[in-house]
Amino acid sequence: MHTSYLHLLTSKKNIKCYFFIAIFLLCTNLNQLFAQKTTALLKEKIERIISTKDMRVGVSILANDGQDSISINAEEHYPLQSVFKLHIALAVLSEVDKGKLSLNKKIKVTERELLPDFWSPLRDEHPKGGDFTIKKLIQYSVSQSDNVACDVLIRLLGKPKTVEDYFKKNHIIDNFEINYTEEDMQSKWENMFQNWTTANAASELLMKFYANGNNLLSQHSYDFVWKTLRETNTGEDRLKGALPKGTVVAHKTGYSGKNSEGITAAFNDIGIVFLPNGKYFIISVFVADSKESNEVNAQMISAISKATWDFYLEK
């Protein structure tokens, strides 16, 4: 075949190939623009919900297998409060997976450790203390937000910074700090601000341990921690508050109480909401410096969660 004719065919094939590549890239860009446009509508709705409230709010949402991302004030620092009990549980489970600890190992909790001013179902149920497995302590700490169990787990690891170091040294999340135990946080109002996170870091934590959890935890530890989060019985009026009855939400709450001026420093809920179509979205909402009532704080979080639920069911 003549060389010039071969060149012509090759050129036509190249043109055809370039054409299909161009169409593919155009469709990809259009899909991305469409996704950005539609999530922008959800973001605007959430901003309207927040705008009427006298508080500082951080929101981070990840959905569509991480392809959709919504951030509102999500790089500001917010007090973790009891949300950090999830971080502690994950750090403990890492030690379990290394064989350094066992979920069935019993830890003695003395009567002296059952501080009277703490929120502690463990203390209320066992006023003389007792021996509890690490598994039970994690369940108390995460599902019931027990402060006594939380500090026992921290002492088991070493100190609060040991928890922080686990995530940072393993390059899991970085934009947070844990400096104090529950006892130290509650001893002085200002201390809680030294245990902080961004909303984006909280959502990133949930994403990494849910979507890629088998790379970080054994299957047994993975199943255990998500079962424990699904059994959380605090903050039922927050992320779950406006969702249909029976909706599965794996979440962890945090709350500071109010100071003498009536300001709530932290009113939080982070978690994964599972949709009836088999999909899910990750959502982290942190309320700080709120002059509103706890009812208003909770209603605002539940409204954000419901708006996200509606958006992804209709999408």
pLDDT of residue 37: 55
pLDDT at site 15? 55
Domain of 155? 42-314
Instruction: Quote the pLDDT of residue 276.
Output: 95
* Number of helices and strands in the chain (H, E): 10, 10
| pLDDT at residue number 212 | 77
Mean pLDDT by groups of 10 residues along the chain of 315 residues: 50 52 44 61 97 96 95 98 98 98 98 95 98 98 98 98 98 97 96 98 97 88 98 97 97 97 98 96 98 98 98 86
In the chain, the number of structural domains is 1
Task: Extract the tokens encoding 77.
Answer: 């620092």
Q: Residues with Cβ < 8 Å from 3, sequence gap 6 or more?
A: none
**Within a domain: 262:** yes
The pLDDT, as a whole number, for residue 165 is 98
pLDDT of residue 137: 98
Residue 28 lies in a domain: no
Pairing of strands 196-197, 176-177: antiparallel
In this prediction, residue 30 carries a pLDDT of 40
Whether 31 is in a domain gets the answer no
The secondary structure of 189-247 as a DSSP string is: GGGGGGSEE-HHHHHHHHHHHHHSGGGTS-HHHHHHHHHHHHT--S-TTTTTTTSPTT-
Residue 34 lies in a domain: no
Is 283 within a domain?
yes
Count CB neighbours of 226 within 10 A.
Answer: 16
Q: Is residue 269 part of a domain?
A: yes
State the pLDDT at residue 38.
84
In the numeric block, which tokens belong to residue 14?
């190249």
- The set of long-range contacts for 138-142, using a CB threshold of 8 Å and a minimum separation of 24, is 138/89, 138/92, 138/93, 138/103, 138/224, 138/225, 138/228, 139/228, 139/231, 141/85, 141/88, 141/89, 142/85, 142/86, 142/89, 142/225, 142/228, 142/229, 142/232, 142/252
Q: Residue 272: its pLDDT value, please?
A: 98
Q: What is d(CA 138, CA 85) in angstroms, rounded to the nearest whole number?
A: 9
For residue 18, being part of any structural domain is answered with no
Q: What is the reported pLDDT for 4?
A: 52
Would residue 10 count as lying in a domain?
A: no
Residues contacting residue 136 through CB under 8 Å, at least 6 positions apart: none
Here the CATH number for the domain that contains residue 248 is 3.40.710.10
Catalytic residues: 82, 182
